[in-house]
Structure 1
Amino acid sequence: MKTPARSFIKLLLASSLVLALGACDKLGLGAADKPAFKGVDLSGAEYARNLNLSDQDGRARSLAEFKGKVVVVFFGYTQCPDVCPTTLAELAEVKRSLGADGARVQGIFVTVDPERDTAPLLKAYLNSFDPSFVALRGSEEQTKAMAKEFKVFYAKVPGKTPESYTMDHTAASFIYDTQGRVRVFSRYGSGAQALADDIKILLAEK
């Protein structure tokens, strides 16, 4: 025989479940609707929302103009020995693997070394991976402001000569949906397949 206490507890749990499901429905957050990203889900993040710098051709660019595409933003520098070229090569590989949908993916490379990364150098560097990739470059102050907006780290590491320094920097990509909202933080080392899987999810969203 069920005791009144047990019946009350079951009723309370059932009511809580109904309320929770109702809240999810109102927010459009049903469990079955939540994307299974391989990277860190940044949906709703209140940072990495603005990116306004000049590109390799000297044109002012912003995230807003790329709406309709899945945008992948990566901070790095042209003399990076491994992380940056690997990341750009993987993104280029993913774009090719998507066939016609690859045209809906935009790579953006933001230099954290504007001292050495001139516009012509950035243009030649990105062309070696994919001519459609955009490089963004700002002044030292603008670069600091962008790093703060994205919560990324970068710092100069002295070399044997003043010109041979390297740059420590956050090794990850920020992925935006076609509405220009940051959605995924994809860590370096995750691989091209994980990146492709997350991009496909965003391309398929309505």
Structure 2
Amino acid sequence: MNIRAKSFSAFTAIAALALSACAPETSVGAPLSPPLEGATIGGEFALTSEDGETVRWTDFDGQYRIVYFGYAYCPDACPTDVQRTMQGFAQFEQSAPELAAKVQPIFISVDPERDTPEVLTQFTDAFSERMIGLTGTEEQIADVASKFSVYYTKFEANEEGGYLMDHSRISFLFGPDGEPISMLPHDQGADAVEAELALWVS
């Protein structure tokens, strides 16, 4: 091996060591890549907050973000998913408060017809004071759902005018630059959510 080859090998080894010191590792020491790395999920939006103010995706720059799409009148799926997600987040707040302070949980309505800011406030506060709810016009919600690769549809209303929504059930974790990182496994319970947050939030 010549000197140039040896120098290149040494540089490669040092670079790999430096990267491994600041990235999550597998059981064999190789750095993990975020499951959603490079995915085209997320994007700029302008929605209405629980206070009636306009909120944009870039308002959260510098923060990690948990994002779930659902609706406040959901009878079972949304409350279950959000409860497990926020229980996991609460456990993360207990075990790593400084890291949890960098995370903003967000609930985006897919039912803007009924989910007013007041309704969303009641819904999100039932699970965590840290979670904020966002709504908007039907056009705004359709746009943001498309950007976040979220499916939803409205079922036919009953005789009393009530109706259900079908929608994706995913808790996304985004990074400080708005980049998609992972899906939080709320279907596996709070402990699994806490573990996933601990893996990626730094």
Q: TM-score range by the shorter chain?
A: 0.7 to 0.9
Q: Which residue of 1 aligns with 2:130?
A: 132
3-state SS of the aligned residue for 2:78? helix
**CA distance in structure 1 between the partners assigned to 2:172 and 2:128 by the alignment:** 18
* Map of 1:199 onto structure 2: 197
Report if aligned partners of 2:85, 2:171 keep a CA contact under 8 Å in 1: no
Question: 153-162 or 74-83: which moved more?
Answer: 153-162
CA offset at residue 63 of structure 1?
Answer: 2.6
Structure 1 residue 67: Cα displacement: 3.1
Mapping 1:178-197, distance limit 5 Å? 178-186=176-184, 189-197=187-195
Q: Normalization by structure 2: what TM-score?
A: 0.77
Cα gap change, 1:51 to 1:91, in 2 (>3 Å): farther
Q: Once the 2 structures are TM-superposed, how far is the Cα of residue 68 of structure 1 from its aligned partner?
A: 3.3
Partners of 1:149 and 1:185 lie apart in 2 by 16
Following TM superposition, the consecutive aligned residue runs of length 4 or more in structure 1 with deviations greater than 6 angstroms are 28-31
Contact preservation (8 Å) 1:171, 1:187:
no
Aligned to 2:120: 122
Cα displacement (A) at 1:74: 0.5
Match of 1:32, SS? coil
Q: Which structure 2 segments of 5+ residues have no match?
A: 1-8, 24-28
Pairs aligned (count): 178
Structure 1 residue identity aligned to 2:154: K
Offset of 1:162 from its aligned partner?
Answer: 5.4
Residues 61 and 176 of structure 2 are in contact (CA less than 8 Å); yes or no, is this contact kept in structure 1?
A: yes
Give deviations 1:102-122, integer Å, cap 9, x for gaps.
322211000000101111111
1:163 aligns with 2:161: yes
- Aligned-residue CA RMSD in angstroms? 2.5
1:64 Cα deviation from its structure 2 partner: 2.2
Aligned-residue identity in percent: 30
2:77 aligned with 1:79 = no
Letter in 1 for 2:199: I
Equivalent in the alignment of 1:55: 49
Q: Which 10-residue stretch deviates more, 105-114 or 51-60?
A: 51-60
AA aligned to 2:180 is V
Seen in structure 2, the aligned counterparts of structure 1 residues 105 and 142 have a Cα distance that, compared at 3 Å, is: same
Q: What letter matches 1:158 in structure 2?
A: E
**Against the structure 1 CA distance between its residues 169 and 185, is the aligned structure 2 distance closer, same or farther, given a 3 Å change threshold?**
same
The one-letter code sitting in structure 1 at the alignment partner of 2:168 is: T
Deviation, 1:70, is 2.1
Write the deviation string for residues 115-150 of structure 1: whole angstroms up to 9, x where unpaired. Answer: 011111111111111122111101011111111111
Pair 1:158–1:188, CA change in 2 (3 A): farther
CA distance in 1, matches of 2:91, 2:105: 15
For the residue of structure 1 that corresponds to 2:39, the secondary structure is coil
Write the distance in 1 (CA, Å) between the matches of 2:193 and 2:63.
15
What is the TM-score when the length of structure 1 is the normalising length?
0.76
Gaps in structure 1 of 5+ consecutive residues: 1-17
Greater shift in the superposed pair: 60-69 or 121-130: 60-69
Aligned equivalents of 1:90, 1:107: Cα separation in 2: 13
